[in-house]
Structure 1
Amino acid sequence: MDSARALADARPTPFWLEDPGRPPALPALAGPTTCDLLVVGGGYSGLWTALIAKERDPSLDVVLVEGQEIGWAASGRNGGFCAASLTHGFGNGLQRWPAELGRLERLGAANLDGIEATLERYGIDAEWERTGEIDIATQPHQLDELHELAEAVAEYGLDLTVLDADALRAEVDSPTFLGGVWDRDGVAMVHPSKLAWGLRAACLAQGVRIFEHTPALDLNDDGAGMSVRTPHGRVFAGKVALGTNAFPSLLRRVRPYIVPVYDYALMTEPLTDEQLAAIGWRGRQGLSDSANKFHYFRLSADNRILWGGYDAVYHFGGHLRREYDQRPQTFDTLAQNFARCFPQLDGVRFTNAWGGAIDTCSRFSAFYDTAHRGRVAYAAGYTGLGVGATRFGAEVMLDLLSGERTERTDLEMVRRKPLPFPPEPVRWAGIEITTRSLERADRLGGRRNLWLRALDRMGLGFDS
């Protein structure tokens, strides 16, 4: 594949956000208002929090403010992998919370079922396909690791289907595939923007007041409650839930725990019947390889291939800038790797090439807490696996705001926070060393150098 030719006409916009069903923007806040619960952020975290709050108590006056438009950021441009895992995968959960992993897996499965039930209840057409995900080995050491994973999950009563090379290539055919494991029920494919827009419609139908183009500028204790300043008026609320994720938190104490990294993706033109037949993929599963610098890929409803991942780029100071959304060198690398994976698709062109920031923390899965004497709650740090886990995070935030002790709030994962990142320039240097070490491990059969082994011993465990 000539990557320059394949990318020549790619639009620098997320494919999902181009959908003609995108709803018109809602009005901005015009003047001060009061409410029982203010939700800050119009991505999945905020939408699930607002909707579940109204489902728990329909009399609650809920306001949601969004700085731009609902689902414009990570919630509208991600890969659309909606996973049951609350811990960024079984392996990460086993390393960090082995004593409660069984509960976490059960709660995660119930959470995924809850998402599916919500789509059905509100008639949300988000192109939901519960086809599962196959983790793929493209190097021999990865095959051993995947077999070990399948044995480990079996001890928890879970089931992964082990596929040898022939069985895997009967599902999806690539000369690079050596084998894999298929989680048949724990992952669904979804149109990410349609999910966000559908949750927006459900919130409005339940009486949530949503104000777009209304950035939250600061958060203050107002005596009897909290107040949030916006350019158009102040919101006075009894309680506040923060779902800002990669964007700087209104609580400064949270900021050292989060770094924004930029993730990138391509979308092909629709495959012809002949092209699709050449690679199989009749089961429409989500796919990801097992390298440290990994790819994730899936089919859209009209049989395009989304091909994303590989580079996760941190910029010094953690700045969020629109120009970072485009990175030609990453798009070229992605296109070349696509060609190696699917040589049968030589000549396929990409229609979209985009990127954007996601939040990550040192344990790769969300953390939670309260502030201002329990009147403010937050959840952050989903590390790219928030399509499903944000609903669980919303439940946790609402539990914390209610002061209610629940199975969720009793979890060690909820009660403890990750290690914060060091200040600059140590933060940037550490991330750079880690990134280069992970690249080296991919080249050397997975062998982790002294730096990575030290991180493992510290409980940081950078492996993706």
Structure 2
Amino acid sequence: MGTTVFERRRPSDSVVEHALDGARHAVFWRDDLPEGLKPDRPRLTGTRVADLVVVGGGYTGLWTALLAKERHPDAHVVVVEAKRVGWAASGRNGGFCEASLTHGYDNGVSRWPREMPLLERLGLENLDAIEAAETRYGMDFQFERTGQLAPAVEPHQVEWLHEWAAEAASRGEEGVVFLDEAEVRAAVDSPTYLAGIWEQRTNGLLHPARLAAELARVAEERGVEIFERSPVRRLETPGSTGAVEVITDGGRVDAARAVLATNVFPSLLKRNRLMTVPVYDYVLMTEPLTAEQRASIGWRDRQGIGDLANQFHYYRLTQDDRILFGGYDAIYHYGRRVRESYERRPESWRRLASHFFTTFPQLEGVRFSHQWAGAIDTSTQFTAFFGTARDHRVAYAAGFTGLGVGSTRFAAEVMLDLLERRENQRTSLEMVRKRPLPFPPEPAAAIGINATRWSLDRADHNAGKRNLLLKTLDALGLGFDS
């Protein structure tokens, strides 16, 4: 079994310790949010009557509320959030806003090959709409259409990039640029880079917490009511009324229709309890780079970056020239539990810091200002699934698997279409019409997930070669390679 570049070129422990010393356990994006975008909204008390109630104040729920008001300006829309708007994944992600609705082309074409041309077109249209939202609604969430760089950091990955470029060319896909070693290092100067693909059209970067806060602000300006600190305890659909009752500790909403946008948290529908598992992701943020430090790495085009390993890293620049560096470890805890204590894992931050200085040794001496973590909702198809329940009164979407920043807007459109029984290109998609396989109950879930993670790590240490478990999962449509 071989080693990876991150083991062959490890920085000294003292470099890592110095960089992490004093880092705050806090989400940079929320610390960076202007006070004017953090209003203290009321709890739900008493009874509200609405046309649509949305459970969840993250991207999925907020896009749904805003787009519902666009479709029906006179409708009364209520959002009920357990804590604060954008406090979970929507406020702490990396800010990569991708066109892909299928967690990448390879994952999509392996599952829905006939639909991929349509899925890719719908994904690009969705990304265009998000970019246009800043002007359309008067928002500022720092959107940059930078594209994304995929560097090869091991020799076997270079061939993958050649195949990628050839396949994109055969489809007539524009904006997929192969960079050899000299070209990729001229773009971003890491001694680990052997080649790269720059996808120029299909990714943007944004400020995650600002997007959530701005969606909430614009929705409220259009009459949406948002209640915070109001965890929903029950969902009732009494047959005699044709309504949906969303019940919290302090109140309830009686609505004609409901949308469940609860992401990684346990679903209010029993049918969806086994459809997702929470996997914990870890992130670091540096202090702002000096002009000299910035010049030492180049990165003039500010692309988002994600490498090609199974256990991959993602990283990007902020507007004040910090570097966010996350990924690699993806930790599952027995029992599908989502707990704040799981967000503290010093060994993951030390590993990330070590990999950061392997990637950019010229930045030795840079310190990290923030370190944080959070749960991602993963489905067995590695992208969102959709559906309705309770006689078409309730719609849901979940399972975004780390690529929900862009696709949550698409999910909002799908759920509204489903509630309105619209037949269109979105609702006719097999990805929308069919549910993926559920995860097994414990202990099988923990055994299977951890065995898969171990196998992916072995593949990264063995020139990408997949073992029998991974090949079997691939054959069953459960494989995962990024």
- CA shift at 1:212, angstroms? 0.7
Tell me if structure 1 keeps the 8 A contact 2:45–2:252. no
Question: 1:115-194 maps to which residues of 2 (within 5 A)?
Answer: 115-159=130-174, 160-194=176-210
State the alpha-carbon separation in 1 of the partners of residues 52 and 33 from structure 2.
Answer: 32
Residue identity in the other structure for 2:29: W
Counterpart of 1:280 in structure 2 is 298
Preserved CA contact (<8 Å) 1:39 1:63: yes
User: Secondary structure at the residue paired with 2:232?
Assistant: coil
TM-score w.r.t. the length of structure 2 is 0.95
Q: Which amino acid aligns with 2:212?
A: A
The answer to whether the 8 Å contact 1:130/1:187 transfers is yes
Deviation at 1:404, TM superposition (A): 1.0
2:47 pairs with one of 32, 36, 47:
32
The equivalent residue for 2:22 is: 9
> What residue in structure 2 maps to residue 325 of structure 1?
343
Alpha-carbon shift at residue 153 of structure 1 (Å): 2.6
Match of 1:89 in 2: 104
Q: 1:240-279 maps to which residues of 2 (within 5 A)?
A: 240-279=258-297
Instruction: Map 1:95-114 onto structure 2 (within 5 A).
Output: 95-114=110-129
Residue type of the partner of 2:209? Answer: S
Question: Is contact 2:97–2:206 with CA below 8 Å preserved after alignment?
Answer: yes
Deviation at 1:369, TM superposition (A): 0.5
- Pick from 413, 422, 425: which aligns with 2:440? 422
Instruction: Give the 3-state SS of the residue equivalent to 2:371 in structure 1.
Output: strand
Partner SS state of residue 354, structure 1: strand
The reply to whether residue 211 of structure 1 matches residue 227 of structure 2 is yes
* 1:23 correspondence with 2:41: no
Q: Which structure 2 residue ranges, 5 or more long, are not aligned?
A: 1-10
Please say if residues 385 and 431 of structure 2, whose CA atoms lie closer than 8 Å, have aligned partners that are also in contact: yes
Aligned to 1:393: 411
> For the Cα contact (< 8 Å) 2:96–2:205, is it kept in 1?
yes
- Distance in 2, matches of 1:373 and 1:135, equals 45
Instruction: Tell me the alpha carbon deviations over residues 368-425 of structure 1, each in whole angstroms, 9 at most, x when there is no partner.
Output: 0000011100011100100000000000000000011111000011111111111100
How far, CA to CA, are the matches of 2:228 and 2:116 in structure 1? 38
The amino acid across from 2:17 in the alignment is: A
Among 57, 63, 67, the alignment partner of 2:82 is 67
* CA–CA distance in structure 1, aligned partners of residues 200 and 157 of structure 2: 20
Runs of 4+, deviation exceeding 6 Å: none
Distance (whole Å) between structure 1 residues aligned to residue 26 and residue 238 of structure 2: 41
Write the distance in 2 (CA, Å) between the matches of 1:12 and 1:462.
Answer: 30
Match for 2:23: what amino acid? A
Letter in 2 for 1:26: R
State the 1:24 CA deviation: 2.3
Instruction: Give the drift of 1:142.
Output: 1.3
Structure 1: how far apart are the matches of 2:138 and 2:206?
Answer: 14
Matched residue type, 1:290: L
1:230 equivalent to 2:248? Answer yes
TM-score normalised by length of structure 1: 0.99
- Equivalents in 2 of 1:222, 1:203: separation in Å? 29
Q: Matched residues in 2 for 1:375 and 1:149: separation?
A: 43
Q: CA deviation at 1:150?
A: 2.1
Asked whether the equivalents of residues 91 and 149 of structure 1 are also in contact (C-alpha less than 8 Å), the reply is: no
Give the CA RMSD over aligned residues. Answer: 0.9
Letter in 2 for 1:216: V
Where does residue 195 of structure 1 map in the other structure? 211
Kindly tell me the number of residue pairs found equivalent between the two proteins: 464
Distance 1:395 1:252 in 2: 24
CA distance in 1, matches of 2:164, 2:75: 44
Q: Secondary structure at the match of 1:290?
A: coil
CA positional deviation for 1:20:
4.3
| Counterpart amino acid of residue 404 in structure 2 | G
CA–CA separation in structure 2 for the residues paired with 1:168 and 1:55: 43
Is the partner of 2:215 in helix, strand or coil?
A: helix
Aligned to 2:7: none
Query: Which deviations, in whole Å up to 9, do the C-alpha atoms of 1:307-355 show, x marking residues without a partner?
Result: 0000010000010110111110000000000010000000100000000
Are 1:299 and 2:299 counterparts? no
Instruction: Assess if the C-alpha contact under 8 Å between 1:288 and 1:295 holds in 2.
Output: yes
- The one-character-per-residue Cα deviations of 1:76-111 (angstroms, maximum 9, x if unpaired) are 000000000000011111111110100000000000
The residue matched to 1:45 in structure 2 has which SS?
Answer: helix
Structure 2 distance, partners of 1:358, 1:221, is 29
Percent sequence identity over matched residues? 55
Q: Secondary structure at the match of 1:257?
A: coil
Secondary structure of 1:310's counterpart equals strand
